[in-house]
Amino acid sequence: MNKSLTVNKFYKDVQDELKLKFLTDAAFSESRKIEHSGLNKPGLALTGYFKDFNWSCLQLLSAAEISFINDQYQAGNTKDIKKLLEFKIPAFIIIGRQKIDQKFIDECIRKKIPVFRSTKAFPKLYEVINDYLDDFFAPSTQIHGTLVDVYGTGLLIMGRSSIGKSEIALDLVERGHRLVADDVVTIQKKDEKVLMGKSGGGYTPFMEIRGLGILNVKEIFGTRAIRMQKRVELVIQLDDWKKEVEYERLGMADDSIKILDVDLPRIRLPIFPGKNITVIAETIALNLHLKVYGYNAAKEFNKLLLNKMKKQQKLTQYLDKDYE
C-alpha cells in the first residue's frame, strides 16, 4: 500500500526547525498530499516546459525562481505560470526573505495551493526536508520479535510466541544492554543494506513477561536500559530443541534471512532447559564484531585443521615403509 503524507502533517512536524510560515490559508494543507519523497525546483516548468515535470512533490522557490516569477508578472506574461498552477501541486516553499509578487500568491489561493516561507538557508532546508521525507516514505514492515542493542550490535530475537524472547531480552538488559523493542518491531529500510528497527507502537520502555505482566524497563533499570532505535544487524532465531534435527556446530555454513530485500545473517539456536541463551547472545554480538573486522573463528579453525592434516600426511608419507 502506497503511503501519502498530508501537507498539514508535514508542516506540523518541521515548522519549528525550518521556521515555516503560511502565506496562504492553513486549511489548504489539510487536503493536499505529498505522494513520495523528493523535492523539485520548477525552473523549466515556469518557462512552459512540462515534460517530466515532477509536480507531485514539494516545490522549492529560491532566488532564481522568485525573480523569474516577478519578472513574468511585471511583463504581463503569466500564461506558463497559470498552466503550472493547474497541476495538483502539494505546496510551494519560498526560501529566504525575497519578496514574491502578490499576484502569484493570489493565484495559489484561488487554486487552494499551500504556500510557505522559510528563512532557513537552502542547504539546511533541503537537508531537513529530504531526511524527513526519506524517513517517512522508507519501505517498512513489522515483525514479531524483540530487538536489543548488545555491545552496540542490533540483535533481532525471533521465534514462536512464548518461547522466551522477552525473558532473554530482560536478562540482557539486567546485564547492561539496551532494549529497543519488545513483541512488535517496526523495521525501516534506510539504505540498500541498512535496516533500522524501533518499537512498533512507540512503547519502547514496556515489556511483557508471561506470568508477571507488563514491566516498564526504563523505570526499573533507568534510561540507560533503553534506546529509541537501532540498526538491525543479525537475527537470532530461537527454535524448540528437536533431537532429530542437525544443528550447525562449526559455523562454516552461513544462514541468512531476507527482510525488505536485505539479507541479514541468521543464527538458529535450539532451546532447552538450562541453556544460557543470554551469554550466547552476547558472544554472538562480539563474534559479529570480529567478522566485521575480518576475523572468522570457524574459518581459522578449519584452516588450522587442514594444515595439521597436511603435515600429518607428509609425515605419514615420509615414514611409509620405514621399519627402523
Residues 140/144/146/147 CA torsion (nearest 10 deg): -10
- The answer, yes or no, to whether residue 1 has pLDDT greater than 80, is no
pLDDT tens across 49-85, in order?
999 999 999 999 999 999 999 999 999 999 999 999 9
Give one DSSP letter per residue of 215-255, joined into a string: EEHHHHH-GGGB-SEEE--EEEEEEE--TTS---SSS-S--
The cell numbers describing 321, all together, are 615403509
- The answer, yes or no, to whether residue 310 has pLDDT greater than 70, is yes
Chain-centroid distance of CA 20 in Å reads 26
The residues that are catalytic are: 144, 165, 183, 249
CA distance 112 to 154: 46
Average pLDDT (291-298) is 84
Confidence of residue 125 (pLDDT cuts 50, 70, 90): very high
**Angle 80-82-86 from CA coordinates, rounded to 5°:** 115
- The answer, yes or no, to whether residue 203 has pLDDT greater than 80, is no
Backbone angles phi, psi at 137, to 5 degrees: -95, 5
Average pLDDT (10-30) is 93
**Amino acid 316: pLDDT:** 62
Coil vs helix vs strand at 107:
helix
**Amino acid 95: pLDDT:** 95
Chain-centroid distance of CA 21 in Å reads 29
**Amino acid 38: pLDDT:** 86
In sequence order, what are the beta bridge partners of 110?
none
Coil vs helix vs strand at 67:
helix
The least confident of 112-116, 266-270, 287-291, 312-316 is 312-316
Average pLDDT (274-284) is 90
**Amino acid 211: pLDDT:** 85
CA distance 138 to 131: 10
The cell numbers describing 176, all together, are 547492561
Given the C-alpha cell 529566504, which residue does it identify?
Answer: 96
Sheet of 229-231, strands arranged across:
229-231, 194-199, 178-191, 140-150, 153-159, 234-240, 262-271, 256-259
Give one DSSP letter per residue of 266-298, joined into a string: EEEEEE-TT--HHHHHHHHHHHHHHHHTT--HH
Cα 161 to Cα 31, 171, 248, 256, 274: the distances in Å are 42, 18, 23, 21, 19
In the chain, the N- to C-terminal Cα span, in Å, equals 81
- The answer, yes or no, to whether residue 34 has pLDDT greater than 70, is yes
Confidence of residue 282 (pLDDT cuts 50, 70, 90): very high
All structural domains of the chain: 5-136 (3.40.1390.20), 138-296 (3.40.50.300)
Given the C-alpha cell 539479507, which residue does it identify?
Answer: 263
